[in-house]
């Protein structure tokens, strides 16, 4: 009886295509949208139409498209008062595509990450309802909720579709192209403007006179945050044995340009995250400990004085008199959010209650409550202990097994990126903008995917 009530493949496809037709009609009739945003969404609709009619391999193409939206940059549009962007649209369409293929054609592997998805949606829904009880605007809360629940389709998509080492390597290669697409235009722009001596939108001058690249093609200096995390993943294809020479060269260029971009944007959080990640990689991979440590010390003396002052201001806010720093303002916001957490530790004060704290972990605790914030963090990073254990096993076998050496480098780079992501979550405001949150969610999704890969390989006989 239940089988008879289940919709047929043709009915599901007809419903999906009907909904796409409605979306196209709405886009064409909504003249309030900018031309850029309308073209982007129409392109997404056309691609999804193709994906629905294609084979199951189209899911991997859609996954690559989701990763590629990061290179699209920080581009947002307000629809009915709610801020949307290409990252959210493509990611949620990936989840819909995944569910449709699972229902119509059956997947080779089960959908992963659903408990974490339900936890995230429940936490976000709780924050929304709490905010309503305080009389906050629903559109503003939905704008803040969007980048948080973007983690759902990203983590589910990666953990479901990245099922083996070959698929993991494909993601690494896709991210190589994404990093190059973000970093190289900004670096070239910076070099051309500095060489010509013309100040303009390509530069942001600090009080001490250091010219910071603005990455206008991407959308701002904040590109350095995402690159500080993703660049660490490039250490695996750059160093592992047996990697194809063209991809090794591209990985080296991607890593170098990513690090250069972080330096040129000179955001304190990005610099700290990158340095911590590099040191973590040297410890985990047991490579380049002396070289990276020495390079870190030398880099401190090579940093412009303004950047040094900015980093020192994190320890001693009184130094803001010598440097145009936002440290004092951020400290005051952190003190205010601590008071909010102490006043409502269990349920929080709802979405939009704390503004941009520049400390995502504290902002989550203030808005959603301490239990929900801790649950999210533990659920995001819970694969880390298991991967640390597996990484040690791969290291012990690496001398006699090139596959183990490859896995050791991949996991070491992934754990280094996870540490950098955690530092950014603790010190910056990322999950208020999708383009900033997406690199963190990519790393978290790869953590879960890698845990499944290692578990499946461990369960195989022999």
Do 96 and 172 sit in the same domain of this protein?
no
Highest mean pLDDT among 218-232, 262-276, 349-363: 218-232
Domain membership of residue 148 (yes or no) is: no
Do 74 and 179 fall into the same domain? Answer: no
214 near 202, Cβ under 8 Å?
yes
DSSP, collapsed to helix, strand or coil, labels residue 375 as helix
- Percent residues over pLDDT 90 in the chain: 39
Same domain, 93 and 173: no
In a domain, 345, yes or no: no
Q: How many structural domains are present in the chain?
A: 2
Report yes or no on 368 lying in a domain: no
Q: What pLDDT sits at residue 205? A: 54
Higher pLDDT, 369 or 97: 369
Angle at 334 between CA 147 and CA 303, to 5 degrees: 85
CA dist 19 and 38 (Å) reads 17
Q: Tokens 């959603």 belong to which residue?
A: 368
Does residue 279 share a domain with residue 408? yes
Say yes or no: 317 and 219 in one domain: yes
Is position 59 within any domain? yes
Q: What is the pLDDT of residue 1?
A: 39
| Domain C-terminal end among 53, 86, 108 | 108
Predicted local distance difference test score (pLDDT) of residue 297? 66
Residue 293 shares a structural domain with residue 431? yes
Rg (CA), the chain: 23
* 431 and 301 together in one domain: yes
Is residue 346 in some structural domain? no
Neighbours of 178 (CB within 10 A): 24
189 and 292 share one domain: yes
Verify that 194 and 104 share a domain, yes or no: no
Identify whether residues 100 and 170 lie together within a single domain: no
Q: Are residues 298 and 234 in the same domain?
A: yes
Q: What is the pLDDT of residues 110-127, one digit of tens each?
A: 889 999 999 999 999 999
Which pLDDT score is estimated for 451? 95
**Domain edge (last residue) among 69, 92, 108:** 108
What pLDDT does 60 receive? 84
pLDDT confidence of residue 6? 47
CA–CA dist 162, 154 (Å, integer): 12
Question: Residue 353 — φ and ψ, nearest 5°?
Answer: -75, -30
In sequence order, the 6+-apart residues with CB closer than 8 A to the CB of 96 are 16, 48
pLDDT tens by residue, 314-369: 555 555 444 445 555 666 777 778 888 888 888 888 898 877 788 899 999 999 99
Residue 31 lies in a domain: yes
Mean pLDDT to the nearest integer, 140-166: 93
The confidence score (pLDDT) of residue 445 equals 96
Average pLDDT of the chain is: 81
* Distance in angstroms (rounded) separating the CA atoms of residues 400 and 404: 8
pLDDT band at 313 (very low <50, low <70, confident <90, very high): low
Domain boundary among the residues 108, 128, 145 is at 108
Closest CA to 186 of 288, 98, 266, 301: 266
308 and 400 assigned to the same domain: yes
Residue 396 covered by a domain: yes
User: Does 343 reside within a domain?
Assistant: no
Range of the domain at 274: 155-325+382-459
């Amino acid at each position: 009886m239940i089988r008879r009530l289940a919709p047929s493949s043709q009915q599901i496809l007809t419903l999906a295509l009907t909904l796409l037709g409605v979306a196209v009609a709405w886009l064409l009739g909504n003249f309030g949208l900018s031309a850029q945003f309308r073209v982007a969404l129409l392109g997404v609709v056309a691609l999804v139409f193709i994906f629905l009619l294609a084979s199951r391999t189209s899911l991997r193409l859609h996954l690559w498209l989701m990763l590629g939206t990061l290179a699209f940059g920080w581009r947002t549009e307000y629809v009915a008062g709610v801020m949307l962007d290409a990252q959210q649209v493509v990611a949620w369409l990936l989840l819909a595509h995944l569910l449709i293929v699972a229902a119509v054609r059956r997947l080779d592997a089960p959908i992963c990450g659903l408990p974490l998805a339900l936890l995230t949606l429940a936490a976000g829904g709780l924050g929304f309802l709490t905010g309503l009880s305080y009389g906050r605007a629903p559109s503003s809360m939905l704008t803040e909720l969007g980048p948080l629940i973007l983690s759902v389709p990203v983590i589910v998509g990666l953990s479901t579709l990245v099922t083996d080492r070959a698929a993991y390597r494909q993601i690494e290669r896709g991210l190589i192209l994404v990093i190059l697409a973000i970093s190289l235009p900004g670096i070239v722009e910076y070099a051309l403007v500095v060489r010509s001596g013309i100040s303009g939108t390509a530069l942001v001058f600090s009080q001490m006179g250091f010219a910071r690249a603005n990455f206008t093609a991407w959308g701002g200096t904040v590109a350095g945050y995402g690159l500080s995390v993703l660049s660490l993943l490039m250490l695996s294809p750059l160093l592992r044995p047996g990697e194809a020479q063209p991809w090794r060269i591209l990985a080296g260029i991607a890593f170098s340009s990513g690090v250069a971009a972080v330096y040129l944007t000179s955001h304190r959080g990005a610099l700290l995250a990158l340095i911590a990640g590099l040191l973590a990689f040297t410890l985990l991979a047991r490579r380049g400990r002396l070289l990276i440590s020495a390079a870190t010390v030398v880099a401190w003396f090579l940093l412009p004085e303004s950047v040094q002052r900015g980093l020192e201001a994190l320890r001693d806010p009184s130094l803001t008199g010598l440097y145009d720093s936002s440290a004092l303002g951020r400290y005051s916001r952190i003190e205010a959010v601590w008071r909010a957490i102490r006043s409502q530790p269990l349920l929080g004060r709802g979405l939009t209650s704390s503004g941009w704290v520049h400390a995502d972990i504290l902002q989550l605790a203030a808005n959603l409550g301490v239990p929900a914030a801790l649950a999210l963090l533990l659920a995001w990073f819970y694969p880390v202990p298991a991967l640390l254990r597996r990484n040690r096993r791969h290291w012990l076998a690496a001398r006699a097994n090139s596959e183990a050496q490859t896995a050791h480098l991949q996991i070491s780079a992934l754990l280094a990126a996870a540490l950098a992501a955690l530092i950014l979550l603790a010190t910056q405001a990322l999950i208020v903008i999708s383009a900033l949150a997406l690199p963190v969610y990519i790393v978290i999704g790869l953590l879960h995917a890698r845990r499944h890969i290692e578990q499946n390989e461990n369960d195989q006989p022999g």
